[in-house]
Amino acid sequence: MDDVDEFSAAPVIAWLMYTRESLRQLHYNVRTSPTINILEKCGRQKLEVLNLSHNTISGVEPSYQRFPCLKSLSLSHISISALDLSYLLTACPKVESLTLLSLDIAMSDAQASMELNSGSLKDLSAEGISLEKFMLEADSLEKLQLKDCTLECFELAGKGTLKLLKIDDVSVIHLDIGENTENLEVVDVSNFTIMWTKFHNMISKASKLRGLRLWGVVFDDEDEMVDMETISTCFPQLTHLSLCYDLKEGSLQYSLQQSFELKNVIMLELGWTVITDLFSQWVAGLLERCPNLRKLIINGVVSEAKSHEECQVLANFTTSIVSLMRKYLHVDVQFEYE
């Protein structure tokens, strides 16, 4: 029922009442006059997937409006209070996947944080969310994805089941994913300001980590950098490594003087936002330390208005890469420019 300005409530209620006993999936993105309480119409049935968009949810009663079979809940452009969202999650005892997109979340004066609790939740994806404090208690959570969010504090309390952590363009002062990070397999962080020491401490116990992506990251302290020796020590099973950040000459030389080897890395992706002559040194230094590498991806940004100097830097890089890769004929090289 997408792309319809407004339906009369009567036929929509009729459709829901006629199908609700057999209904497994409902994708509801329509305005009605008057509005319909979807939770009331479809609760206590066999619904397994519920996607709600462009509506308002209020007055949730978890003891009455239960969804005993629901496994996937998606809320997009929904107006809801933090308390009602908490109640709604409680009303879904088997929910495994929760997607929150651009919600208008109302906070009461007595409530400074949004607290969600679920023993069954395995996958949380939140995008376009602005909150002071977001607290999540989820003992079974395996995937956590935050995108385009503004949070003062995000805290996850769980039992160390998290396998994937993805953060993209998130502003957060305090980020806590708990101490039990032993099962993390993929960490993907992009367009994010990090304090390396603090960030590393957060994921340092993830000895099973296979994929690490730090793309377009900015360091809180200009003298900080990604410590490659620490990465090789803490993440011995790492197979996929993607890095893109501003290179500083001093920190780069220090990094390449360290004695580290990334024995299991088979895919290496390196990128620049502004290309300099340091990039070639960085590529060469990391290639030396990945003895089992199979694929190298070079990802770069090329500005539309290029000065002669910029063209020369790009030409020098191309020449050096052609020369360098003669030593690594077994490595598949791919270039991606934007």
Closest among 287, 289, 296, 247 to 268, alpha carbons compared: 296
CB 170 within 8 A of CB 144: no
* Mean of pLDDT values over 158-162: 94
Q: How confident is the model at residue 221 (pLDDT cuts 50, 70, 90)?
A: confident
Burial class (CB in 10 A: 0-12, 13-18, 19+), 85: buried
CB 283 within 8 A of CB 311: no
Rounded Cα distance between 247 and 80, Å, is: 44
pTM: 0.92
Rounded Cα distance between 43 and 56, Å, is: 16
pLDDT surpassing 80 at residue 23: yes
Rounded Cα distance between 10 and 34, Å, is: 9
Q: For residue range 257-292, list pLDDT tens digits in order.
A: 888 999 999 999 999 888 888 889 999 999 999 999
Q: How confident is the model at residue 3 (pLDDT cuts 50, 70, 90)?
A: low
DSSP per-residue codes, 50-61: EEEES-B-----
> Chain-wide mean pLDDT for the chain?
91
Closest among 235, 168, 172 to 200, alpha carbons compared: 235
- Residue 291: Cβ within 10 Å count: 11
> What percent of the chain is predicted at pLDDT more than 90?
64
Q: For residue range 65-88, list pLDDT tens digits in order.
A: 899 999 999 999 999 999 999 999
Closest among 253, 262, 264, 254 to 289, alpha carbons compared: 262
Assigned token pair, 107: 């906070």
Q: Tell me the H-state helices in 151-242.
A: 196-203, 228-234
Question: Residues for the chain: how many in total?
Answer: 338
Q: How confident is the model at residue 178 (pLDDT cuts 50, 70, 90)?
A: confident
pLDDT surpassing 60 at residue 174: yes
If one compares 162 and 7, the residue with the highest pLDDT of the two is 162
Rounded Cα distance between 120 and 69, Å, is: 12
pLDDT surpassing 80 at residue 208: yes
Angle (nearest 5°) at CA 117 between 115 and 123: 110
Rounded Cα distance between 175 and 184, Å, is: 16
CB 50 within 8 A of CB 77: no
CB 42 within 8 A of CB 18: no
Q: For residue range 101-127, list pLDDT tens digits in order.
A: 999 998 875 566 899 999 999 999 999
